[in-house]
Structure 1
């Protein structure tokens, strides 16, 4: 992937540069680098100040912390897609004896397994991984702080367990599996478990003085699947494009969409910001825009990857400081700047290749009780059910090939829509999860549960 600065308008590029310049100056970061992805390609790269005496660019490595978790989640989803596990399987089936074996793979991915946020002392981010050689050293004597499946509680040990799961089922170290199954296929040649030059050094900036202190760079050992990786803006731009679109060499578009689907509720402290969690990805609604991705931090480094799938825009922001700039806000702003200044050009409307009369029987106006809905068929082969006015349940449906349709999203995700036909082949009504949709409000010709008063509609008098 090449960085094509000319792909964005000069005003947009200046606005992006201004945003990261403000973040670097006000956040007092030794250096800050960023990239923007549009239409699956990196279209802008920006940097402020220097790394080890030279200007940072898209090839300089920074530590990305918990963005590593998304890589680990992709490896687990690959195992699921190959039929080697089910997300509903308990951990005990594959990694016995942990003390948390009743938690499912999906709960570990979504941080709802009830595990502690951190490993037992000493502070794992600032001490060698050799102090925790066994999984039991990471989980401790009492791994569970909460009932399994009851609440979302972010857990670094949970992703250590998932890394062990990958190793057990692949018969190879996590780092080797990562390289073979994600890094090489996607061309992420500057992403690695150990820093490779050129790379940034990690710094702590004094909170009350413009002074700096070098931070230690520890190998996390067994906890590597939770936060070990180093990467660049160029590599993470490629990874962002993959997370938005999928790549059949690694994971299908359908499976990465599943990763981006909420799988855990927000913690009480996060409700105001609308932060939820999918399967290895954070989700947030900001300025009316659904953003997915992940943040990361380790001593000396901050990282953020933010994607707006609807706008087809993503941003990567990396800094080499322990605290300071709020990279989540910066990433969201970079996405917003591009999405608003240069809105996505919609794909041309195209008619259906072939017209299926049985599908045309379904389109048009329907009533759920007295609520008016419309069904529309689109060229992608899907049908959409949506309210004709106001808010309400809206969903797209995929054909099952037997006359029935399965909901893809929202309230009707996974639910079956079944057109019920009369003996002459015409459609009497739609059965959607037992709800009856009719062509007229409470159509007396349709089998509406509870029946329809034979006197019909009337006035008050």
Structure 2
């Protein structure tokens, strides 16, 4: 499925209700006013299309809109992660590969590609002084200048510790494997296929200027706009609200020209426990994860001197939101984008797809449906599309999972406790079904039924009894 966000006509998608649009506009107006941002622009996508955008500015007359560029800071990391995942999917590297295998001599080569993606490589959060975001990249011409004298702060794989230098290494990894610059790979492999023609490493008019707002007075100071050089894969990009809505759709649905739906879903899957103070969220592979009012969101936030940005998607609701502002601090664009997702999702809940029967069904599969017992826990097995099945507890606590069909007649777990585990049907010598085996768990048609050989440890021959 492609990320087909475009300036669609009203007939091609369902417009937001006037009350919803008013609520969105009010929310960004409050954010711009209270956050004292020179300008703020936001946009919302629903079911693959941008359905709303709005802007507030301190300048009279035409100002920012969904096509004006802002710097997006660390949202750049998600683009870099997509490039790395493409290399993985092409078989050019593995996430378990040590960096040294593809990019030798960094002094951080023991960290794996997956650990760098998930910020668990143990690297420092920042480069050595001076502050890299406000100084010329010429001060850090080599990777050694980015990593400093102590490239390893924590044991690899043990702790989530956000690292900007880690994504510099990933950008250099892309260059080493592809044989082209990070910027060239980005343009050819992501920006061009997805139609992100207003996203790039350098600003193109019209674009916002970055400002610092005095904390105790309503006065401004222009912020420098440095080219980040080697640090570019961690935070260089400029983009627009419209382009980022397209990218958000891609992060939900995938696009076979760039990365499959399965691979972007893998990126949205928690790769590691969050930091001790951040248990409301976590981090996948280049994607931040959070909960907002019980809603699961995936995306990223970003900031550089003069700019703040936020992008969040709710895959369950089919809603994404982007917020961009040109102030060093003030509007919390990450929080704002999450709230915009919530406004739309709560005001206009997603309509479920119409129920449709399966196009065909195998009688052998149909006979497997219904109740199954793991010990005395009752589960229900039902068929899903594409010859898949779901096994769910019917009462009490349990471990529900969905399974996809494998070529050998088994099923592979897709989620929950049984992700990656194999569910198979065990037959008796006469060809009839004895039980289900799920990673050594035995499911029988009756709780500790008469087919005692199927139950590990056997069943008491006297059977069930009263007191």
> Would the TM-score normalized by the shorter structure come out above 0.5?
yes
Whether contact under 8 Å (2:435, 2:443) holds in the other structure is: yes
Match among 91, 99, 116 for residue 108 of structure 1: 116
Q: In angstroms, what is the RMSD of aligned CA positions?
A: 1.3
5 Å matches for 1:73-112? 73-112=81-120
Question: Please, what TM-score do these two structures have when normalized by structure 1?
Answer: 0.97
Q: Secondary structure at the match of 2:278?
A: helix
Match among 309, 322, 335 for residue 316 of structure 1: 322
List structure 1 segments (4+ residues) > 4 angstroms apart after TM superposition: 3-6, 50-53
1:194 matched to 2:179 = no
Unaligned runs of 5+ in 1: none
1:457 matched to 2:461 = no
Q: Deviations over 1:149-205 (max 9, x none)?
A: 011000000000000000001111100110010000100000010111110011111
Match among 121, 128, 131 for residue 139 of structure 2: 131
Counterpart CA distance in 2 for 1:253 and 1:50 is: 41
Using the TM superposition, name which of 380-389 and 122-131 deviates more. Answer: 380-389
Q: Secondary structure at the match of 1:237?
A: helix
Query: How much does 1:4 deviate?
Result: 6.0
Counterpart CA distance in 2 for 1:227 and 1:366 is: 52
Q: Secondary structure at the match of 2:282?
A: strand
Cα gap change, 1:390/1:245 in structure 2, threshold over 3 Å: closer, same or farther? same
Query: What does residue 399 of structure 2 align with?
Result: 393
Counterpart CA distance in 2 for 1:132 and 1:34 is: 34
Counterpart CA distance in 2 for 1:17 and 1:407 is: 43
Query: How much does 1:210 deviate?
Result: 1.3
Q: Secondary structure at the match of 1:269?
A: coil
1:436 matched to 2:406 = no
Match among 1, 7, 10 for residue 15 of structure 2: 7
Cα gap change, 1:239/1:52 in structure 2, threshold over 3 Å: closer, same or farther? farther
Counterpart CA distance in 2 for 1:357 and 1:425 is: 15
Unaligned runs of 5+ in 2: 1-5
Query: What does residue 3 of structure 2 align with?
Result: none
Query: What does residue 338 of structure 2 align with?
Result: 332
Using the TM superposition, name which of 399-408 and 224-233 deviates more. Answer: 399-408
Match among 215, 225, 231 for residue 223 of structure 1: 231
Whether contact under 8 Å (2:41, 2:54) holds in the other structure is: yes
Query: How much does 1:344 deviate?
Result: 1.0
Query: How much does 1:299 deviate?
Result: 0.5
1:211 matched to 2:216 = no
Whether contact under 8 Å (1:261, 1:278) holds in the other structure is: yes
Counterpart CA distance in 1 for 2:281 and 2:457 is: 42
Cα gap change, 1:4/1:281 in structure 2, threshold over 3 Å: closer, same or farther? farther
5 Å matches for 1:153-302? 153-271=161-279, 274-302=280-308
Q: Deviations over 1:391-425 (max 9, x none)?
A: 42111101112221000111111000011112232
Query: What does residue 412 of structure 2 align with?
Result: 406
Using the TM superposition, name which of 388-397 and 22-31 deviates more. Answer: 388-397
Query: How much does 1:50 deviate?
Result: 5.0
